């Protein structure tokens, strides 16, 4: 605590404001009709001095960006965070200001409401500053990110999505950072959560359900009875279902379909990984919204273009696939077959799994096929508004494969063997652009240019980035990809989220496949030019649709 006698009250005319030193603190002191008031001189926005601004009534205006604060209690009335106010007493006609030291706990108590306001208003700057302050006050990245998830999960339309997955990935990546630097992954998480929830009111929870049963839950999901499915799941949580059981319900539900282009499985993986970090006691605040996502997801496997592949998949012996013990690795021939296929070669893949490759071996093949496809993708086509195909159609295979692997490891069985086959189908489908055009295989070439991997990515030098990744130690490359993805200046949240998601999946898949290919492909992807805003392509698609009445070509 620091106290200073600032002299006679007569030296503070009404309507005046001046700087004072109280201990080590620089304090603004203003006298108004309501009394003498003291507050931090440093503006909570960027630290400029408030006493150089103006005082009108009880309102002080920071002249730098026009934020306004009520001097009586520090409330910000135009702008974002409040400014700290301090105790003033008049003792024998003298002005005495006391600045109390606040414990970390007291500072956190003050900062949480401010962070929540930042989330509600989608103010990235406020979230970043409050996250940095909270970290300094001893809050953990998990606690901060959870505030964002708890705010966003009930609000985001049609259930949780990329904002939650991105938050899970950013929280995992926060472990690569220390001290104040953790603000970067934490803020990337919060920004996506706030943006996607902005403008939505929280969903109301459905009324209670009969005794929960797995069969009842699955039936409700399949029949798209949203309220029943959510209520059954909530009741299961309330009845004390273990994390493994909840996870199984969700994995089983998403593995019945190629759900929402694979997002169903990816989001289940990320929501469970998030709970692994923040604690499964939070399950009731997150997972019912995951059920909403599953219920409303597109069953892509029912669409006409998937029918031949789904007929082939129906012949696969999923039980035998799930029971197979891994004994061999693909010598590259199955990967080549997958890359060349037009429809899912389900019999060949199932036969390989049962013959000793195992389900994880199949997922290795899928991940490496996706990496190879990414490495030969002609990224100059990325900015062509006349095509709807892009990087993300391929990169998604890698993240889906990683989700299927996660599901298989935690919940092995015929259902997750099927999920692996869905991932293989996506690897086949990601070749549709190649099949329409001549493909030029790209081999990363070391350019000899100085610099590091992060620099090459941020400078948009794809071939350098791929070459650096090929040369580096896998752990270092994985960390560099994560840093580059988090520093990415992408124009839209969805592109930044995919960069993060892919960096995380690539590191995991490189470890599992024991191959640098996923890292090299991701380095090239992160450095390549990408479509960042989708307004022009959406407008073009709308023009074509309204003009012809026909859907666009996949």
Q: Whose Cβ is closer to ligand FES: residue 45's or residue 257's?
A: 45
Closest distance to ligand FES from the beta carbon of 41 (Å): 11
Please give the Cα distance from 104 to 86 (Å, whole number).
17
Kindly report the three-state secondary structure assignment for every residue of 474-505.
Answer: HHHHHHHHHHHHHHCCCCCHHHHHHHHHHHHH
Which residues does residue 31 pair with via DSSP β-bridges, in sequence order?
Answer: 16, 36
* Entry field: residues in the chain: 554
Which stretch in 39-47, 104-112, 456-464, 530-538 sits in contact with ligand FES by CB under 6 A? 39-47
Distance CA 311, CA 309 (A): 5
CA distance linking residue 264 with residue 300, whole number of Å? 11
- Cβ closest to ligand FES, residue 59 vs residue 474: 59
Contact between residue 249 and residue 236 where contact means Cβ atoms under 8 Å apart: yes
User: Is the CB of 45 or the CB of 256 nearer to ligand FES?
Assistant: 45
- Report in angstroms how near the CB of residue 121 gets to ligand FES at its nearest: 16
CB of 61 to ligand FES, least distance (A): 8
- Among the listed ranges 42-50, 88-96, 225-233, 245-253, the one in contact with ligand FES (CB under 6 A) is 42-50
Closer CB to ligand FES, 65 or 409, in the complex: 65
Minimum distance, C-beta of residue 34 to ligand FES, in the bound complex (Å): 22
Residues 266-295 that bind ligand FES (CB under 6 A): none
Binding ligand FES by CB under 6 A: which of 38, 43, 190, 278?
Answer: 43
Give me the least distance between CB of 39 and ligand FES, in Å please: 12
Task: Name the residue nearer to ligand FES (CB basis): 62 or 457.
Answer: 62
> Is residue 39 near ligand FES by the rule CB under 6 A?
no
Q: How far apart are CA 282 and CA 243, in angstroms?
A: 11
Main-chain phi, psi angles of 473, to 5 degrees: -70, 135
DSSP string, 436-458: HS-------------S-HHHHHH
Question: Distance between CA 249 and CA 401 in Å, rounded?
Answer: 20
Q: In angstroms, give the least distance from the CB of 37 to ligand FES.
A: 18
In the three-class reduction of DSSP (H, G, I as helix; E, B as strand; rest coil), residue 54 is classed as: strand
* Closest to ligand FES by CB, 45 or 289: 45
Cα(363)–Cα(428) distance, rounded to whole angstroms?
13
Q: Which residues pair with 49 in a beta bridge?
A: 42
From the CB of 221, what's the least distance to ligand FES, in Å? Answer: 49
Of 46 and 213, the one with the shorter C-beta distance to ligand FES is: 46
Nearer to ligand FES, 58 or 163 (CB): 58
Q: From the CB of 262, what's the least distance to ligand FES, in Å? A: 44
Site residues for ligand FES, window 44-83 (CB under 6 A)? 45-46, 48, 62, 64-65, 67
Residue 45 or 182 with smaller CB distance to ligand FES: 45
- For ligand FES, the closer CB: 64 or 280: 64
Residue 524: strand, helix, or coil: helix
In the complex, the smallest distance separating the C-beta of residue 130 from ligand FES, rounded to whole angstroms, is 15
Closest approach of ligand FES to the CB of residue 48, in Å: 4
> Residues 471 to 510: which contact ligand FES by CB under 6 A?
none
CA-nearest of 162, 127, 158 to 144 is: 127
3 or 63: CB nearest ligand FES: 63
- Least Å distance, CB 64 to ligand FES, is 4
Site size with ligand FES, rule: CB under 6 A: 8
Q: Alpha-carbon distance 59 to 524, whole Å?
A: 53
Going by C-alpha positions, the residue among 303, 288, 251, 271 that lies closest to residue 163 is: 271
Quick note: the x/- pattern for ligand FES over 215-234, rule CB under 6 A, is --------------------
Residue 552: Cβ within 10 Å count:
14
Please give the Cα distance from 245 to 295 (Å, whole number): 19
Find, among 536, 496, 522, the residue nearest to 163 by Cα.
Answer: 496
Q: Which stretch binds ligand FES (CB under 6 A): 41-49, 302-310, 356-364, 489-497?
A: 41-49
CB nearer to ligand FES: pick between 45 and 226? 45
Nearer to ligand FES, 27 or 523 (CB): 27
Assign 430 to helix, strand or coil. coil
Instruction: Output b/e per residue, 422-461; b: 16+ Cβ within 10 A.
Output: bbbbbbbbbbebbeeeeeeebebeeeeeeeebbbbbbeeb
CA separation for the pair 130, 228 (Å, rounded): 39
40, 240, 353, 461 from 471: Cα distances, Å: 51, 49, 32, 16
- Residue 85 CB, nearest distance to ligand FES (Å)? 16
Give min distance, CB of 60 to ligand FES, in A.
10
For residues 478 and 507, give the distance between their C-alpha atoms in angstroms, rounded to a whole number. 5
Binding footprint of ligand FES on the chain (CB under 6 A) = 43, 45-46, 48, 62, 64-65, 67
């Amino acid at each position: 605590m620091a106290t200073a006698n600032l002299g006679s009250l007569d030296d503070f005319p009404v309507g005046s404001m001046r700087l004072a030193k109280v201990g080590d603190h620089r304090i603004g002191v203003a006298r108004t009709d309501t009394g003498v008031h003291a507050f931090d001189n440093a503006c909570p926005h960027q630290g400029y001095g408030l006493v150089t601004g103006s005082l009108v009534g009880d309102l002080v205006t920071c002249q730098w960006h026009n934020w306004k604060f009520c001097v009586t209690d520090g409330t910000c009335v135009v702008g974002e965070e409040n400014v700290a106010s301090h105790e003033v007493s008049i003792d024998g006609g003298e002005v005495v200001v006391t600045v109390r030291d606040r414990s970390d706990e007291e500072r956190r108590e003050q900062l949480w409401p401010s962070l929540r306001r930042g989330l509600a208003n989608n103010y990235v700057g406020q979230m970043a500053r409050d996250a940095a302050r909270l970290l300094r006050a001893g809050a953990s990245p998990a606690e901060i990110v959870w505030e964002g998830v708890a705010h966003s999960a009930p609000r985001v339309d049609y259930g949780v999505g990329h904002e939650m997955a991105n938050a899970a990935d950013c929280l995992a990546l926060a472990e690569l950072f220390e001290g104040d630097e953790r603000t970067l992954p934490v803020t990337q998480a919060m920004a996506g959560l706030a943006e996607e929830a902005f403008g939505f009111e929280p969903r109301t929870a459905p009324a209670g359900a009969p005794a929960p049963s797995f069969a009842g839950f699955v039936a409700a999901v399949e029949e798209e009875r949203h309220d029943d499915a959510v209520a059954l799941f909530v009741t299961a949580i309330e009845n004390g279902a273990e994390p493994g059981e909840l996870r199984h319900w969700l994995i089983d539900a998403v593995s019945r379909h190629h759900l929402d282009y694979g997002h169903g499985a990816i989001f289940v993986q990320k929501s469970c990984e998030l709970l692994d970090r923040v604690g499964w006691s939070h399950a009731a605040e997150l997972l019912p919204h995951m059920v909403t996502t599953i219920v409303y997801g597109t069953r892509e496997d029912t669409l006409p273009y998937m029918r031949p592949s789904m007929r082939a998949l129906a012949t696969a012996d999923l039980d035998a696939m799930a029971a197979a013990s891994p004994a061999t690795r693909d010598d590259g021939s199955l990967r080549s077959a997958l890359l060349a296929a037009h429809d899912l070669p389900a019999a060949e893949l199932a036969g390989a799994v049962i013959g000793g490759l195992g389900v994880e071996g199949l997922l290795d093949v899928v991940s490496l096929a996706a990496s190879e496809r990414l490495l030969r993708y002609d990224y100059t086509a990325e900015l062509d508004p006349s095509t709807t195909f892009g990087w993300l159609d391929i990169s998604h295979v890698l993240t889906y494969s990683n989700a299927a692997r996660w599901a298989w490891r935690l919940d092995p069985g015929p259902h997750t063997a099927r999920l692996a086959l869905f991932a293989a189908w996506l690897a086949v489908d990601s070749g549709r652009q190649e099949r329409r055009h001549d493909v030029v295989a790209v081999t990363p070439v070391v350019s000899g240019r100085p610099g590091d991997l992060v620099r090459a990515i941020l400078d948009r030098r794809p071939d350098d980035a791929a070459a650096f990744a090929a040369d580096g130690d896998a752990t270092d490359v994985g960390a560099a990809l994560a840093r580059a993805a988090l520093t990415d200046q992408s124009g839209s949240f969805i592109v930044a989220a995919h960069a993060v998601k892919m960096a995380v999946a690539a590191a995991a898949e490189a470890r599992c496949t024991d191959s640098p290919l996923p890292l090299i492909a991701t380095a090239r992807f992160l450095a390549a030019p990408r479509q960042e805003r989708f307004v022009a392509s959406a407008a073009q698609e709308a023009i074509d649709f309204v003009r012809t009445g026909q859907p666009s070509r996949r």
